[in-house]
Chain A
Amino acid sequence: MKNTFYKTIYVLLIIFLLTLILSGCGGNGVKEETRNYFKVGVITSLSGPEVYGGNITKRGYEVWANEVNKKGGIKIGDKKYEVKLVFADDQSDPTAGADAVERMITSEKVDFILGPYTSGVTMAIAPILEKYKIPMITGSAESPLIWQQKFKYTFGIIPAADITGSSPITTLAKDVQPLPKTIAIIGINDPFSKSVAEAFKKSAEQEGIKVLKYDIVPSGTDFTPLISAIKELKPDILAVGGHDKDHMEIIKASKTLGFLPKAFVMHYGITSPEFTKNMGKDGDFTIGATVWTPALNLKDELFGSTKNYVEFMQKEYGVTPDYTEAGCAVTGEVFAAALAKINATPPLSEEERDKLVTALEQIELKDTLFGPIKFATEGNWYHDNTGLKPLTVQIIDGKQVIVGPKNLREQAPVYPQPDFDKR
């Protein structure tokens, strides 16, 4: 009888202890721990084919975190809270990204997330963020498909590719002589690059430029046969939706095959420091799209101004940032402003995270190093920052020069581009 009594006590004790432990581990959304800093998740491509861009985003996020910590942290009320970044590698693969973000949310219990480099991974992890109710801003992803799905917890700093992608084609269709009549378009088979290629096609058709070839090819393709086929068609413009590696290989293949269209239009990657460093003179005169250039001088609360930020990057890292890196650097500032608005201290509860989403929807930052930030709350670009004007840039002497639209340009586009051996 006594034994049975003790056994019952033991069992009850074990159940009690287990309940305590489990309530500590699970129960997402409950303030289960105390800490005086914000735990910020970063998920991006730290390995796999998009590792270069992944590291650009990582550096952008880190620069923000270091700078904000140097100044004592994010100011909430009268107190400042430091930020601690927690990294997850999506391996440039949407499935691996979904696994990694779920692991990061459940084991690290991050307050909010700074999002992936690629659109493919962003789309794969967005539903997981809905499930765990964790807000995320991506400082890089640009595919319009992300915003069409109207995810509540996902936001984006860079305007969608269908807004930016049309800009170089429109510039060429209006502001050069002789006007281009034909175009060949190549898109790499990933959500972002495909969207860019589609944007090129749509705007070319709208502007009356005849599309001679439109081809979506897998990543890692040998471009030589494709360029041979395009060379036969003699298009005025060769437009490519892809990343810096694809653009490099396409220009190299074109050069070896003796093919030079009047303009190469390429998005994204020609504004990255690596493109000009690798391509040298061969990369000059390539035209691309952006929403930001290092030459802009805008006010910024954290860095002081765009100029300060660019100088800081050149001094500390030896690089001139492009719009993706700058977009990532500003992402944390947006979160900080929204957190200050709702007076939320770490760790964030589920209710606070919901309030954070509402604050992000309402936020309107006029002065940041990236330009004005306001997220759309309806329509096809739901939760994307649509406040920025798309610009057409051309690489001239290794630097980005704004060549369109006409009212904002630094100089007229160089068209047709000079021969490779006359640069």
Chain B
Amino acid sequence: MGLLIQTLVNGILIGGIFITIAVGFTLAFGVMDIVDFAVGEWVMLGAFTAFWVNYFLHVDPLYMIPVVMVVYGLIGYFFQPVIQKVINIKHRSAALIALAFTFGLSIFLRGSALTLWGFNNRNLISWISDKNVDVFGITLPALRVSATVFAIIITIVFMLFLNKTKTGIMIRAAAENKVVAGLMGIDGHRIARLVYAIYVGLTSVAGIFLGAIFSVHPDMGVRYTAFAFFIVVAGGLGSFSGAIAAGLLLGLIDSFVSVYLGGAYIFLILFLVLFLVLLFFPKGILGKGW
């Protein structure tokens, strides 16, 4: 019984981190209509930024969260028009070109990191890295708990922002129907820049947590790109609540399969679930996607 609860908690905790990535990723997809292949590289860059600041200035990675979020948010804000330009190319396969562009971007960022920072695996340590909380015999790693708490706070703030503020409503409108939103006077380009900034900021912060929990290296982002796709497809394309549910589902599958079936079956089960979701719930597990 103890193991069952431990497994469940582990699943929720890792799912929490996936949610941080999924929230921004889904929103960016909804507004810009493209999937960003470079999602994993934003994770990697966030982790490396925290690592280097920690290495040279000895600032704890967790204290870097607001700085990384703002800096990468600004990078996203100023970079978005470049992607937008590719999306707007007058070509019948513009979306495909944009997809190839983000794929190229991902390779470029990964290659640059490899050239600049070398091939070493790095260990990012926070003051809570080796702490854990014992609740009724269940050991909760403090770092994962913090990541999940962060994900919950971000999700709530995001929900409130999207539902209660004027800009949030504009974002939702643009995500739902760009043409009509445009006719209502919503500046689609400004919204897209804002959303991309939020997405890049959030994803790089997730990188700090993932880097501290696992390790930091130029290739670390690749698996999160795959996970982000799982979350967005299983959650339903463009569905915010679906992405949260899929993030949790991913964490739980990862945890339960590792413990009860064996680690070798994780990807098999993961893609089997994805296949079944696409077959029976093409609009995502909550039925709220496109």
Taking the complex as formed, is A24 at the interface, i.e. its CB lies under 8 A from any CB of chain B?
no
Taking the complex as formed, is A48 at the interface, i.e. its CB lies under 8 A from any CB of chain B?
yes
Give the contacting residue for B258; candidates A220, A222, A245, A257; CB below 8 A: A222
Give the contacting residue for A249; candidates B144, B214, B264, B267; CB below 8 A: B214
Assuming the contacts A52-B217, A225-B11, asked whether A274 and B121 have C-beta atoms less than 8 A apart, the reply is yes
Query: Number of A-B pairs whose CB atoms are under 8 Å?
Result: 114
B264 and A228 form a contact (CB under 8 A) = no
B263 and A226 form a contact (CB under 8 A) = yes
Taking the complex as formed, is A224 at the interface, i.e. its CB lies under 8 A from any CB of chain B?
yes
A217 and B258 form a contact (CB under 8 A) = yes
B141 and A257 form a contact (CB under 8 A) = yes
A259 to chain B, nearest CB (A): 8
Q: How far, in whole Å, are A226 and B123 apart by their CA atoms in the complex?
A: 20
Q: How far, in whole Å, are A291 and B254 apart by their CA atoms in the complex?
A: 37
Provide the A198-219 mask, 1 if CB < 8 A to any CB of B, else 0. Answer: 0000000000000000011110
Assuming the contacts A225-B11, A255-B130, A278-B121, asked whether A189 and B264 have C-beta atoms less than 8 A apart, the reply is yes
A197 to chain B, nearest CB (A): 12
A50 to chain B, nearest CB (A): 9
The stretch of B1-9, B155-163, B174-182, B188-196 in contact with A is B1-9
B12 to chain A, nearest CB (A): 11
B120 and A257 form a contact (CB under 8 A) = no
Taking the complex as formed, is A252 at the interface, i.e. its CB lies under 8 A from any CB of chain B?
yes
Which residues of B, 130-174, contact A by the 8 Å Cβ criterion? 130-132, 134, 139, 141-144
A228 and B3 form a contact (CB under 8 A) = yes
Taking the complex as formed, is A314 at the interface, i.e. its CB lies under 8 A from any CB of chain B?
no
B121 and A215 form a contact (CB under 8 A) = no
Q: How far, in whole Å, are A258 and B142 apart by their CA atoms in the complex?
A: 12
A225 and B119 form a contact (CB under 8 A) = no
Assuming the contacts A51-B218, A229-B258, A256-B142, asked whether A244 and B121 have C-beta atoms less than 8 A apart, the reply is yes
Which residues of B, 229-255, contact A by the 8 Å Cβ criterion? 254-255
Give the contacting residue for A217; candidates B142, B213, B262; CB below 8 A: B262
A228 and B111 form a contact (CB under 8 A) = no
Assuming the contacts A218-B267, A228-B7, A252-B129, asked whether A54 and B262 have C-beta atoms less than 8 A apart, the reply is no
Q: How far, in whole Å, are A189 and B110 apart by their CA atoms in the complex?
A: 24
A258 and B121 form a contact (CB under 8 A) = no
Taking the complex as formed, is B285 at the interface, i.e. its CB lies under 8 A from any CB of chain A?
no
B263 and A228 form a contact (CB under 8 A) = no
Give the A interface residue count (CB, 8 A).
38
Taking the complex as formed, is B80 at the interface, i.e. its CB lies under 8 A from any CB of chain A?
no
Which residues of B, 94-130, contact A by the 8 Å Cβ criterion? 110-111, 114, 118-123, 129-130
Q: How far, in whole Å, are A218 and B258 apart by their CA atoms in the complex?
A: 10
Taking the complex as formed, is A72 at the interface, i.e. its CB lies under 8 A from any CB of chain B?
no
Least CB separation from B17: chain A residue: A222
Q: How far, in whole Å, are A258 and B264 apart by their CA atoms in the complex?
A: 25
Assuming the contacts A218-B263, A279-B123, asked whether A258 and B10 have C-beta atoms less than 8 A apart, the reply is no
B258 and A420 form a contact (CB under 8 A) = no
25 residue pairs of the A-B complex, CB under 8 angstroms, read A47-B110, A52-B119, A52-B120, A52-B121, A52-B217, A55-B118, A215-B264, A216-B262, A217-B262, A221-B263, A222-B14, A222-B214, A224-B10, A224-B255, A226-B259, A228-B10, A228-B259, A229-B258, A232-B2, A245-B121, A245-B217, A248-B123, A252-B129, A256-B143, A258-B134
7 closest A-B pairs by CB:
A217-B263, A256-B141, A225-B258, A278-B123, A51-B119, A225-B255, A229-B259
Q: B residues engaging A (CB < 8 A)? A: 2-3, 6-7, 10-11, 14, 110-111, 114, 118-123, 129-132, 134, 139, 141-144, 213-215, 217-219, 223, 254-256, 258-259, 262-264, 266-267
Q: A residues engaging B (CB < 8 A)? A: 47-49, 51-52, 54-55, 186, 189, 215-218, 220-222, 224-226, 228-229, 231-232, 244-245, 248-249, 252-253, 255-258, 274, 278-279, 282, 420
Contacts A47-B114, A218-B266, A222-B214 known; 20 new A-B pairs at CB < 8 A: A49-B219, A51-B119, A52-B119, A52-B120, A55-B118, A215-B264, A220-B223, A222-B255, A224-B14, A225-B7, A225-B11, A225-B254, A225-B259, A228-B3, A228-B259, A229-B7, A256-B129, A256-B130, A274-B121, A278-B123
